[in-house]
Structure 1
């Protein structure tokens, strides 16, 4: 009864009078929502906000009678005596063997208003049916029926006679509330749908495959769409069957088409457009994400970085993580931000945000692609930012909305949401998953491309300096355990840099077979001795200063051009370590 019920009985003579005058009137029916039906479902508008029957669609506003109402005095009197607040009133005609596929309504309208749809069946037959996920209902003439169209529903008419209803889209006022107080639902009108089991599911897909090969995709599509009218699909929709069907066939374009259609028909009316930019970048900024540390220099810095992120289409959520989110940040803490981006703009956002960080925040060197942070369905970058308040590390992770790995974020113990783009369709995990799947090839290709960029001397040098910065920061904060782990990474990074000069073929060997570099370096074993000393060097501040100087001297000697290009970064990190 939450979805459908009987509200008020209608006198038979009034019902006959409305049906007769509508049948005899010269009505120009329109076919609207054509993609949502098999054909044979037609409507005409009686009341609309502009008083005109223009597009035949449902719109918000104070309904006014169209010119057609003048030819239907019995119907007009019935409607106006109800005392309801309409925003659209239509006549809907369903011919024999017509099907309106699974969908939800009102999802494109403002959620703040309370609405309900009323049906007044004028002409019907027992095989004219309204389907819901678990049952089907025959809306018999003689009643005003209530329908909540925000739940999934569908219509079929397999009887020999036409089904004709008045459809009243109403705002909930006191009159309608009074009618709802008396709602009922006679069991004779309701029939449960059988649950779709695995065996039947397999047979349906096999029959769809047969239809596809013999009669084409349209017949296969309609066959699977009718499953909503015939079965209780559980947590699935008829569109899920179509998506799975075409995925199993390897028919990517049809799979994407039905992902897009499910998104449109079930979740929102906005058509999926892979190339459209996102305007309307409204958002909510929480002014104090960690409550007790707003006087730290990082606080104003991440606000500025957030404003940079908001410049580019696609941004939907931003989280601050780490010590700033926990509330135990200190003046040396990193700035950890995670941006969640719409899948259709994931690639362009990655390029734009990297350019924006470089132009607006002057990082030292290029970003280092972070392969250490937990996978959230995207790509992580580490920047070193030189500010008037010191040298700071920005960890920026860009994740794709709907990506399966983004579920890991729910298990991160400390995070604060600091920005949310106001999406009209609201938060819906299944919709997000569909949108990701629609663009998954592009997203995964971009993630692979960035994470598999071939190491180079500049990139390795950037990594070495980022690690050096992190080691000094950890030691200053007394976190010797993390500093030791980072120091091991620093050693491996330095030997990789050495091998890129003298032993590129074995660049990723680490300290294995390092003795072969004695001959390659041609320096009487001096480099080999230095590498041995570094490999066994204990971690303390003085020893780390020495190995860092050794590394910077190596770069200056063997990669002079790159040293000149990245001199600002190396000198800034060295000052940080020495200081």
Structure 2
């Protein structure tokens, strides 16, 4: 099981920040409020149906979802080029902001790992040395413009003890044969950390909160997804 690696590429942090600063849309609070303290918010750049009001990132085990670019991504050509750099299908893409003093409590995310067919990549747009990201008991340093994969089925937490808001471009991808071939190359293997396989299912509280939020949106796509998630609750979690 791959725990962590840095993609052997560095993007232009200045261009990323420039586009971030030009966005005037209102940031949305993360729906799962039990997982954090303070302000943890997001802007959807690619979402189900291209909605700018839905920040859900749903695992590839939930079918029937059509992800589309949002109008916000059209304002960010450099971010679009970063997203297009990765040779695979993209699902959810978001800018995620953890404000000064905020904490993401330790938790695990359902099926978010290469072994389950999903690759979540973090590209720090704005960060600081006093932002502390822990994967299990290991602190993972992440630099602006870098690109990082973390196996988020493992327990992880974040504390922003810095004077700036931390903002990451978070790209969810579906693993394909080209990605598998890349991950076998020495440039990737040398930065990989490995561990024992562990896959956590999405907890029931998180699933119920997602269903409530989707039903509140009252759109056909949201209702369909709520039904899919409802079927998960019929299975042991």
With normalisation by structure 1, the TM-score equals: 0.31
The aligned residue for residue 78 of structure 1 is 82
Please list, as runs of the form range in 1=range in 2, the aligned pairs for 1:102-141 lying within 5 A after superposition.
102-106=106-110, 114-141=117-144
| 2:13 corresponds to 1:15 | yes
* Deviation of 1:22 (Å): 1.0
Distance in 1 separating the partners of 2:88 and 2:161:
32
Please list, as runs of the form range in 1=range in 2, the aligned pairs for 1:225-236 lying within 5 A after superposition.
none
Distance in 2 separating the partners of 1:168 and 1:146:
10
The aligned residue for residue 50 of structure 2 is 51
CA contact (8 A) 1:128 1:156 kept: yes
Of the three residues 156, 161, 179, the one matched with 1:158 is 161
Inter-CA distance 186–161: structure 2 relative to 1 (3 Å threshold): farther
The aligned residue for residue 191 of structure 2 is 185
Distance in 1 separating the partners of 2:180 and 2:132:
26
Please list, as runs of the form range in 1=range in 2, the aligned pairs for 1:468-507 lying within 5 A after superposition.
none
Distance in 2 separating the partners of 1:43 and 1:19:
15
* Deviation of 1:62 (Å): 4.6
SS of residue paired to 2:25? coil
Distance in 2 separating the partners of 1:171 and 1:35:
27
Report Cα offsets for 1:161-187 as digits up to 9, x if no partner: 221111111111133224423324399
| 2:80 corresponds to 1:268 | no
Inter-CA distance 117–424: structure 2 relative to 1 (3 Å threshold): farther
Please list, as runs of the form range in 1=range in 2, the aligned pairs for 1:373-392 lying within 5 A after superposition.
none
Inter-CA distance 128–47: structure 2 relative to 1 (3 Å threshold): same
* Deviation of 1:85 (Å): 1.3
**Structure with bigger gyration radius:** 1
> What is the number of equivalent residue pairs in this alignment?
194
Report Cα offsets for 1:496-529 as digits up to 9, x if no partner: xxxxxxxxxxxxxxxxxxxxxxxxxxxxxxxxxx
Q: When you count helix as a share of all residues, which structure comes out higher?
A: 1
| 2:98 corresponds to 1:98 | no
The aligned residue for residue 197 of structure 2 is none
Distance in 1 separating the partners of 2:201 and 2:87:
32
The aligned residue for residue 35 of structure 1 is 34
SS of residue paired to 2:84? helix
The aligned residue for residue 175 of structure 1 is 178
Report Cα offsets for 1:77-130 as digits up to 9, x if no partner: 2212322211111101111111000111125x9xx9511211011111111121
Distance in 2 separating the partners of 1:179 and 1:28:
37
* Deviation of 1:423 (Å): 2.7
SS of residue paired to 1:3? strand
Structure 1 residue runs of 5 or longer lacking an equivalent are 188-265, 273-421, 426-579
Q: When you count strand as a share of all residues, which structure comes out higher?
A: 2
SS of residue paired to 2:172? strand
Alignment root-mean-square deviation, CA: 2.7
The aligned residue for residue 235 of structure 2 is 423
Distance in 1 separating the partners of 2:236 and 2:21:
40
Distance in 1 separating the partners of 2:155 and 2:74:
35
SS of residue paired to 1:9? coil
SS of residue paired to 1:8? coil
SS of residue paired to 2:2? coil
Distance in 2 separating the partners of 1:177 and 1:186:
14
